[in-house]
Structure 1
Amino acid sequence: MLGPGVRLGERYRLEERVGAGGMGEVWRAVDEVLGRIVAVKVMLAAVADEPDFARRFRAEATAMARVNHPAVASVHDFGRSHDLTYLVMEFVDGESLAQRIARGGRIAPEETLRLVAQAADGLQAVHDQGIVHRDIKPANLLLRRDGSVVITDFGIARRDDASLLTSSGAIMGTPSYLSPEQVLGQPATVRSDIYSLGLTAYECLAGQKPFVGDNPYAVALQRLQTAPRTMGITLPAAVLAVLEKALATDPAQRWPSASALAGAARAGAAGTGIPAPVGPAPANTEGRARRMLWAALVLAVVLAGGVAVWGFTRDGGGDSAVPAAKAGVPAGFASCGTGYCPVEPMCWGGLTAISGRAQPPGRINCDEPHRYQTYAAIPLPEGALEIRTDSLMAQPAVTKACTPALLRSRGSTPGKADAFTPDAWPIQLPDGSWLLHCLARSPGGETTGSVIG
């Protein structure tokens, strides 16, 4: 039983519980060997007892211990005592950004950008170690007495080469701060952390969360259906420029790295103008942005005398009258038999259906892990959007178009596509019309590289 006075590892004497979350409890403790105050995170038994948890969590702790940056909480030790798994970290004497917002409300734009820049610096150090935090939010950003920022709580962080610390298929993170791709069940990347930091900046400026709902599922789903609540305050244009790019729905349109975001935030705070991102632009980012089918966050910026009003909106209208692809070959395709074939590889990280209805997928680089790749497309058959996605392949028009033979013929090398299974998914074009994509599905899980020639 945890409580004041309990000693873990014959070294760490617990003094006061200072926090609790979904993974465990955090205690202020005394390191009796070195005579210093530390933070000890004790993992919940239900989590720690998962198969191979200790091995995987130790691998994560080892990776995090290699991060050496003033804006990242230092990891000191890892161990197991009294049948409890624990992690020993730097104790930050201060308060969380969430407590700061709750206590004082909105934070001034210049101060917000300063905090964002420091947090982004720390994130870059984390990302340099191949770690994605996956739960950036005000509660996980601590403020020292001098006002400097410390990133903490890596309970659900993931290394590029590590397995998840939780059950397969779970969407990890806090609903109010998940990126659109995380909501869709796709892998989190460094740009997912950038999006979450953008939402954190929103909360600093607005004094309220960007998304609210009756339950966590509804909160997470909102960013696919609507936009963050309007702030209703005037902000410098430079602040809007930083946040607009951080909150781009398409990951390829966000700041390319945390360090780029940090530089932009500092320039915005200093009023020196927002620097352009450094490094090569992602391939075909303009085309990707047009094809992004998540509910778009459109930044409505009304410039007036160097300031702008922060307000998000979205396109209205439903799909009661859904046009098929308009006359002519759609952009990104070439004529191919009775339909179209993509002129460049089109890969998708995952497909999500809610109550049987297809949700917009997110396109990713084919060199990244993915499950689906388009090998052909046809105009959307009448009534296809009203059919459950798991029944699409049984429809005669779809069966005729998305054949295994066509998939094999589109393989980049002989026999390469044989192990892939045909599937189908409706995807909307920028002009509002629809195509039905014939997809090569990898039955063995995620794959890399293009299977289509």
Structure 2
Amino acid sequence: MRLGDRYRLEERIGAGGMGEVWRAVDDVLSRVVAVKVMLPGVADDPDFARRFQAEATAMARVNHAAVASIHDFGRSHGLTYLVMEFVDGESLAQRLARDGRIAPADTMRLIAQAADGLQAVHDQGIVHRDIKPANLLIRRDGSVLITDFGIARRDDASKLTASGAILGTPSYLSPEQVLGQPATVRSDVYSLGLTAYECLAGQKPFDGDNPYAVALQRLQAAPRTIGITLPAAVLGVLEKALGTDPAHRWPTATALAAAARAAADGSPIPPSPPPKKADQKPRHLTLIAALLAVLVVAGGVAVWGFSRDNSDSATGATGTTGAKSGAGSAAVPAGFTACDKVYCPAAPLCWGGMTAINGHAQPPGRIDCAEPHSYQTYAAIALPAGALDIRTSLLMAQPDIAAACSPELLASRTNAAAGFTPDAWPVQQSDQTWLLHCLARSDKGETTGSIVK
């Protein structure tokens, strides 16, 4: 079939809810192009037709190497079509399906390229609203291209959907999109953060039986723990991109790109400017109020988590523990025995990746020590006062905690102190009391078997 007496459709290369994408030849300019044809079943729907034309208009306004170029838009043989540059490569979704995880440095470079393109989109007053691996194309030279602006929205455009409708792919929606609130540039940053998560983990951060369950999970539970050890800088980029409150995310795609490149190169991450005080409070309160409203209905608890390898710098700690460490004269907790000034586990306690919510500890998942694990408890102390208010990455910077979970204690309690680093993590007991676990972390990543005497 030839559209517009010019574009000869040769091979269907993709399809979605709005249309099909064909590899075609432009007979006028003798070049290969991609033609997106609006499906007849939705062509008569005014909203879909307007959205399709909006995609052409949005893409045509952006001129960037990381954003798909728009060549033409028209109607022929009763079909509405959009002509774009043809990409000789594959989508990021196809690469992930084939290769699984992508190495941390490569992931950060990929995300940096996508963020550069996203900034060009945002500079035109456009919010993409559907950033995901399927909409990021990888050329054969490894460069990234953002495509599919079918639900993009301009700042000066009216809404194309009914009030309260949610546009986007459930697995990649930001919390504010789930709540039906307007998407912003920071919503795209969040979606790109979820894409980075999938590249690093080899799986989606949220999954469920239906799209609604998937969307609501980010209001009720943390993303799945990434099951591999990652550099602290990479996790720092990811954590900030996935801030629950938009004000706590990278403020721009450019800031995310700079941070991702620094993490890929092992350089210090450039600081991002804090949110303006005038803007921060209203956004924060609005989002939290909306979250609470949803959670009352869903009966859940809003948490956000990230795996960490605890190689964060221990500098810059603020505050003090305010209490002496040790077992003291309190009753010995269940599962432990009294060992001088600490509690010793009565049986080996091993853990997978630890999870934090905006820097605060969440309950870890216990793992059989015979299975691969990242941490093992070699001692525990009563939780020092104020410890829950300190970022987990800074706990070992507190003098009382560092003295209690010392390398000397690690060496005396284990058979393999060499190659292991002390760490600390608060864990709530079954009786709702808290202990601070002294953890042995392997410097080489996951390990198997118990090292505690």
TM-score range, shorter chain: 0.5 to 0.7
Change (3 A) 1:282 1:71: farther
For 1:276, the equivalent position in structure 2 comes to: 271
Matches of 2:356 and 2:75, distance apart in 1: 48
Matches of 1:116 and 1:155, distance apart in 2: 21
Conservation of the 8 A alpha-carbon contact between 1:179 and 1:195? yes
For 2:40, the equivalent position in structure 1 comes to: 45
- Give the alignment partner of residue 164 of structure 2, picking from 161, 164, 169: 169
For 1:372, the equivalent position in structure 2 comes to: none
Matched, 1:311 2:306: no
Matches of 2:160 and 2:305, distance apart in 1: 35
- Give the alignment partner of residue 101 of structure 2, picking from 97, 106, 114: 106
Matches of 1:124 and 1:92, distance apart in 2: 21
SS of the equivalent of 2:8 reads: strand
Matches of 1:261 and 1:280, distance apart in 2: 15
Matches of 1:160 and 1:250, distance apart in 2: 21
For 1:32, the equivalent position in structure 2 comes to: 27
Amino acid at match of 1:28: R
CA root-mean-square deviation: 2.5
Matched, 1:296 2:303: yes
Amino acid at match of 2:355: G
Matches of 2:48 and 2:312, distance apart in 1: 56
Amino acid at match of 2:310: L
The percentage of counterpart residues that share the same residue type is 76
Amino acid at match of 2:36: K
Change (3 A) 1:64 1:284: closer
For 1:217, the equivalent position in structure 2 comes to: 212
Amino acid at match of 1:311: T
Conservation of the 8 A alpha-carbon contact between 1:235 and 1:309? no
Change (3 A) 1:129 1:304: closer
Matches of 1:167 and 1:48, distance apart in 2: 18
Cα offset for 1:264? 0.7
Matches of 2:56 and 2:154, distance apart in 1: 10
Change (3 A) 1:55 1:185: closer
Amino acid at match of 1:145: R
Matched, 1:120 2:120: no
Change (3 A) 1:132 1:41: same
Deviations 1:304-362 (A, max 9, x none): 4879956356879xxxxxxxxxxxxxxxxxxxxxxxxxxxxxxxxxxxxxxxxxxxxxx
- Equivalent pairs counted in the alignment come to 311
Map 1:289-438 onto structure 2 (within 5 A). 289=284, 292=288, 294=291, 295-299=302-306, 301=308, 303-304=310-311, 309=353, 311=355
Conservation of the 8 A alpha-carbon contact between 1:228 and 1:312? no
- Give the alignment partner of residue 21 of structure 1, picking from 16, 22, 32: 16
Q: Which has the higher mean CA deviation after the structures are superposed, 75-84 or 274-283?
A: 274-283
Matches of 1:285 and 1:300, distance apart in 2: 27
Cα offset for 1:272? 1.2
Conservation of the 8 A alpha-carbon contact between 1:231 and 1:311? no
Conservation of the 8 A alpha-carbon contact between 1:39 and 1:89? yes
Unaligned runs of 5+ in 1: 1-5, 317-453
For 1:242, the equivalent position in structure 2 comes to: 237
SS of the equivalent of 1:135 reads: coil
Amino acid at match of 1:64: M
Matched, 1:206 2:214: no
Matched, 1:285 2:292: no
Cα offset for 1:166? 4.3
- Give the alignment partner of residue 140 of structure 2, picking from 124, 140, 145: 145
Amino acid at match of 1:303: N
- Give the alignment partner of residue 79 of structure 1, picking from 47, 70, 74: 74
Q: Which has the higher mean CA deviation after the structures are superposed, 69-78 or 168-177?
A: 168-177
Matches of 2:111 and 2:354, distance apart in 1: 18
Amino acid at match of 1:116: I
